[in-house]
Structure 1
Amino acid sequence: MKRRKSWLLLLSFVLVLGVLAACSGKKPASGDDDKSKGEPKKGGTITGVMDTAPTGLFNPIFYTEAYESNILSFTHEGLLSQDENLGFIPNLAKEWEFNDDQTEVTFKLEEGVKWHDGEPFTANDVVFTYKTLASPGYVEAGGVRVNYVERLLGYEEFSTGKTQEFQGVVAGDEHTVTFKFAQPNVMALPDAAFPIIPEHVFKDIPIADIPQAPASRNPNEVVGTGPFKFTEMVEGEQYVLSKHADYWKGEPKLDRVVWKIVDQAVILGLLEKGEIDFVADPNGVQPADYETVADMEHVKLIEQPDFGYQIMGMMMNHRAKGDTAVDPSKWTENKKLSNQKVRQAIAYAVDRQGIIDGLLYGRGSVQNSPIATQFWAYDGETPNQYKFDPEKAKELLDEAGYVDKDGDGFREDPQGNKWVLNMNYPTGNQIRERSAPIIVEFLEEVGIDIELRQPKETAAYFEDLENNSQDWDLYLMGWSLSSTDPDPSGLWASTSGYNYQRWINPDSDKLLKEAVKPPDAFEQDYRKKVYSDWQVLFGEDMPSLLLYAQNSIWAHNKRLQGISVLPSTFINDPHLWYVTE
């Protein structure tokens, strides 16, 4: 434990710098700078940056990372979009109507929409997308988005192969499609908002082969209806999107959008030199660089609460090696973290506000709920707030029987055995990388022996997390949340493909189901109460510690105009983006 003081001293030093920066902070621009506006230039290329390369799976039904999402946000679309208040607005569907008992919703689709390869978009594409999500073999192939289809009529029978009839989504004609649900569905519009993939491209490819198919991987073979096509790639270095001239909302003003992959340390210099035009999701401008960017006259800053958070996951159960299905009955308990008091002690031991003040320069917030703060369902008061309290952490560990019996400064388990928790984390996000050893020091301060493993490249890390994490205990990662509904079951239900901590809690699953169960769920106050109860339960069982919600700090060169951000994303209506020089 000799080395721990160095990191705590470093955090204190950085914290002071953060406070000084916050005291002298400038506010980001609140609107377009009139002086920067000029006549829209026809065509042109803009360049954005990501600090981590996409893993290379550019298919909405199978991708798992925000880096792929940066590409797909330009190439693919759903029936619905959202406005600045998170309300649903028309997109590929121009209007919709519910039946009397809320078990069906019928969409009228836009006519004249073309896929990137020139084929017409029809209701059959919608049916095909949802049928694929619901099909047997989807989860086994790596699919994790069954939450969009599990409420559809006949889902269980179809997904298990008991019937080959798919009843949930039905085409009335080429431009009419009806979603049918097993019962009145408060989540009908969020369920129907998933990006659509082309039937004519994928219909003859077995589901197991779709993730590796050229149409899911290669430039000029990834086909969507969006305003830009994915046309070029130097893997790990550059990804090029070219305008879809026949885009149904009108020809995009820009010719190309180029994503470059560069180390986070050099992004600031590129922005200052004008060599890149925007820095946005998933990591944006680093808090330490805020003041520097604010002083760049040619750059506009946008800051708002993030629609996501960073977590330290606690691996409560392990999945069998090679088991690709999400089957909690086959998981084995991780006894090193099975005691609830141990998980609560870990939460008390980490000074999360200190990390925010130090590494984020105060541009973030402690969050104790997995529901985004922008949603009406977020409860920031009732759940245990887990304020930094190392003495409370020590007390809980003592109560759980984890005490230092051999005098080495670290606790043994209740049987007197050596107790070491490993921590795993990926490269790419510098703040997360810097937080890892600091978190270790906090845990060691209360007597928990931590093995900090070498970080892995992002693609390899998430592959291990999904399939080969049988000996993991703690892990760091970030979640970007869906903006369509506060329902957290897509990440935290026991059968969710994203349930990486392998959390099994019947009371949690029950509350998550009750929150969307009709008829009560059609009353927002009812859902709010159920979600409050769930957030309290989450805090008690503590399957993961939410470390912080970093503010989204986005920046773009003022030559880039037409930007209209949403609460959850910088990329909104990019066909309207243009450059003035």
Structure 2
Amino acid sequence: MFNKKWVLLFVLMLFFGFVLVACNGDDTSEKEGNESQAKDDDEASGEPQKGGTLTGAMDTAPAGVFNPIFYEESYEANILDFTHESLVGQTKELEFEAELAKEWEINEDQTEITLQLEEGVKWHDGEEFTADDVVYTYKAIASPGYIEAGGVRTEYVVRLLGYEAFNSGETDEFEGVVAEDDYTVTFKFAEPNVTILKDVSFAIIPEHIFADVPVSEIPEHAATLNAGEVIGTGPFKFTEMLEREQYVLEKNADYWKSEPYLDQIVWRVVDQSVMLGLLESEEIDFIADPSGVPAPDFETVDALEHIEIIEQPDFGYQLMGFKVNHRTDADVEAGAIEPDNWVPNEDMGELKVRQAMAHAIDRNALVDNLLYGHGSVINAPIAQQFWAYDEEATTNFEFDPEKAKSLLDEAGYEDTNDDGFRETPDGEEWVVNLNYPTGNKLREDSAPIIEQFLEDVGINIDLRQPKEMTAYVEELTNDNSDWDLFLLGWSLASADPDPSGLWGADAAYNYQRWNNEQSETLLEEAMQAPEAFEQDYRAKKYSEWQAVFSEDLPAILLYAQNKIYAFNERLNGVNPMPYSFINEPENWWLAE
């Protein structure tokens, strides 16, 4: 039940006309796969037509790093998903299939995979794609200075043979990836590799563009930042941009699969408050990743005769993270992730405080009243579409304000001066800061509600002014600061359920700076050959890990929202993947 303060806040939100908007999320309802809400399920009649411009909308501008090995945000992925490709892709069943590599062979002990590449593939500037590009891409990610320059994709290279020696600078030779000839490449791993196909699935960048550029300078290179200079092999070229307003993709007429039907795809950056009006007036043609259609607006959009809707579970969730530890100034300066050096955040490091906050927040109320039921509460940070997801293994911190108060009392956080807020166990004033970014209205509107829930159990919350996402992520990463709580959303990778890329102690994206020995052991065991070649074994280890995560609680998983895509009925060929609206865009076409 809502208390009176919640009701008042919710009414005020409606009065001031907040537009609540969807975020990434999974669906724990009985829906399976893609559930189309389209008014007419029949395939469009007629033959595909060439030409035309398709216009999409996103609510936040890309940060501007258009390079697969360095980008960090899903808004940049909206560009890169059209321009760059990987050696292997995935089916809707999440099985691996051929992409730039047409076939492959894995040796008996799972330490080597040899891939035969497609011949005749051209980069956007006309240069030929070869095995040397594959070697270069992985060598760049493995290079000394990559992490220091802001790179976070090391999970694709750490298992390769010779990684540590090469990354530390002990040798200039990287033996983990070898070009056998122009169209054959072999990946060699130090040990039998359970995720061998996932590890070779990273998007490839062109050697001829970056070979002479120090890795530390790639993030600032023109071919990373500038439209017209970003080079991939994909069906569309990134040709123009009016920064923070419009991003233009033109068809790659020489695309190796087939010439795209569309001439252009244009992304417009527009505020959520006007996005649906533009969709109705046909000034934009689709709303897709990362935010999709706001859940409260589902019925409105569904009533538009010219708009089709697809609703499906998403690979993602929204969370409130605890800054359990902070990095040192020296480590931030060096770009290092060194758990042994971390400085504990005394209050957020107290388990009972974290658990009390989990009991204080009514997550079902968020889903019911902000998401209008288009989502669910989950307790494990693994996509529900994966075999590894195990809700039964987790601890469910149900909404229980009295339990929250009791836990805070037990931890020594009590109101000793009768001002309505609790003091620290030392009797000092206790103020907890809550940080969040702009751009996602649902997350923005969740913040004051979460503040109220926490203050209802006596926690004095400093709800800080939100920051633009790029600045927010920079400060979140360089966390030698006083941050306590933060709001964030994750779109999860679809290649494998291994959560170590977000929750491993030394993972760059482990913004909580969570370091749990039991977690580290289980994550390692879940990948340890030969046992881990049995899916049942890995599922058991991940079940145990989900139990540890949900009990130790480095973050509260607030909600997982269904992804709601909307597009003009004149767009044909739409066939979204479970994790992305963008799939085979060369087959998209516009009816007259």
TM-score, with structure 2 as normaliser = 0.94
State the partner residue of 1:24. Answer: none
Equivalent position to 2:425, from 405, 409, 414: 414
CA distance in 1, matches of 2:294, 2:45: 26
Tell me which of 374, 385, 391 is aligned to 2:396: 385
Out of 275, 299, 304, the residue aligned to residue 267 of structure 1 is 275
Matched, 1:142 2:142: no
Q: Which residue of 2 is the match for residue 570 of structure 1? A: 581
Q: For 2:161 and 2:444, how far apart are their aligned partners in 1?
A: 45
Q: Secondary structure at the match of 1:7?
A: helix
- Mapped partners of 1:157, 1:330: distance in 2: 23
The answer as to whether partners of 1:403 and 1:414 remain within 8 angstroms in 2 is: yes
Deviation at 1:97, TM superposition (A): 0.7
Q: Match of 1:60? A: 68
Post-superposition offset of 1:32? 6.3
* Match status 1:205 vs 2:213: yes
**Number of the residue aligned with 1:347:** 358
Matched residue, 1:516: 527
> Are 2:545 and 1:530 aligned?
no
Query: Is the Cα contact below 8 Å between 2:328 and 2:480 reproduced in 1?
Result: no
Per-residue deviation, 1:158: 1.2
How is 1:38-53 mapped onto 2 (pairs within 5 angstroms)? 38-53=46-61
1:342-388 C-alpha deviation (Å, 9 max, x unpaired): 11111111101100101100100101111011100001112101111
Instruction: Decide which of 73, 84, 90 is 1:76's aligned counterpart.
Output: 84
Unmatched 5+ residue regions in structure 2? 21-34
Q: Which deviates the most, 284-293 or 163-172?
A: 163-172
Pairwise mapping of residues 118-137 of structure 1 onto structure 2 (< 5 A)? 118-137=126-145
By how many angstroms is 1:148 displaced? 0.6
Relative to structure 1, the CA distance from residue 430 to residue 199 in structure 2 (aligned partners, 3 Å threshold; closer, same or farther) is same
Alignment of 1:87-486 (within 5 A): 87-321=95-329, 322-468=333-479, 470-486=481-497
**What is the DSSP-based 3-state SS (H/G/I as helix, E as strand, rest coil) of the residue aligned with 2:385?**
coil
CA contact (8 A) 2:50 2:262 kept: yes
Distance apart, 1:13 and its partner CA: 11
Identity %: 61
Q: Which moved more, 1:423-432 or 1:163-172?
A: 163-172
Deviations 1:47-98 (A, max 9, x none): 0000000000000000000000000000000001111100101000001111
State the secondary structure of the residue aligned to 2:391: coil
Decide whether the 8 Å contact of 2:38 with 2:308 is kept in 1: no
1:29 deviates by 3.0
Match of 1:6 among 8, 14, 28: 8
How far is 1:39 from its partner? Answer: 3.8
| Counterpart residue type for residue 160 of structure 2 | L
Separation (CA, whole Å) in 2 of partners of 1:240 and 1:459: 21
Structure 1 letter corresponding to 2:534: E
In 1, Cα distance between equivalents of 2:415 and 2:365: 27
Instruction: Give the superposed CA RMSD.
Output: 1.9
How far apart are 1:7 and its partner, in Å?
2.2
For residues 116 and 137 of structure 1, the distance between their equivalents in structure 2, rounded to whole angstroms, comes to 28
Matching residue's letter, 1:279: I
What are the ranges of 5 or more consecutive residues in structure 1 without an aligned counterpart?
19-26
What is the rounded CA distance, in whole Å, between the counterparts of 1:497 and 1:228 in structure 2?
30
- Deviation of 1:127 after TM superposition, in Å, equals 0.5
Aligned equivalents of 2:566 and 2:315: distance in 1? 17
When structure 1 is superposed on structure 2, of 365-374 and 28-37 the one drifting more is 28-37
* Corresponding letter in the other structure for 1:335: E
The superposition leaves residues 204-236 of structure 1 with CA deviations (integer Å, 9 ceiling, x where unpaired) of: 111111001000000111000000000000000
Q: Distance in 2 between matches of 1:3 and 1:560?
A: 45
Question: By how many angstroms is 1:323 displaced?
Answer: 4.1
CA contact (8 A) 1:37 1:561 kept: no
- Cα gap change, 1:239/1:318 in structure 2, threshold over 3 Å: closer, same or farther? same
Q: Which amino acid in the other structure matches residue 201 of structure 1?
A: I
- Residues 523 and 391 (structure 1), Cα distance of their counterparts in 2 relative to 1, 3 Å cut: same
CA–CA distance in structure 1, aligned partners of residues 11 and 341 of structure 2 = 44
| Superposition misfits of 4+ residues, deviation over 2 angstroms | 1-14, 27-41, 320-323
2:561 is equivalent to residue 550 of structure 1: yes
User: Which residue identity is paired with 2:208?
Assistant: H
Distance 1:71-1:390 versus aligned 2 partners, 3 A rule = same
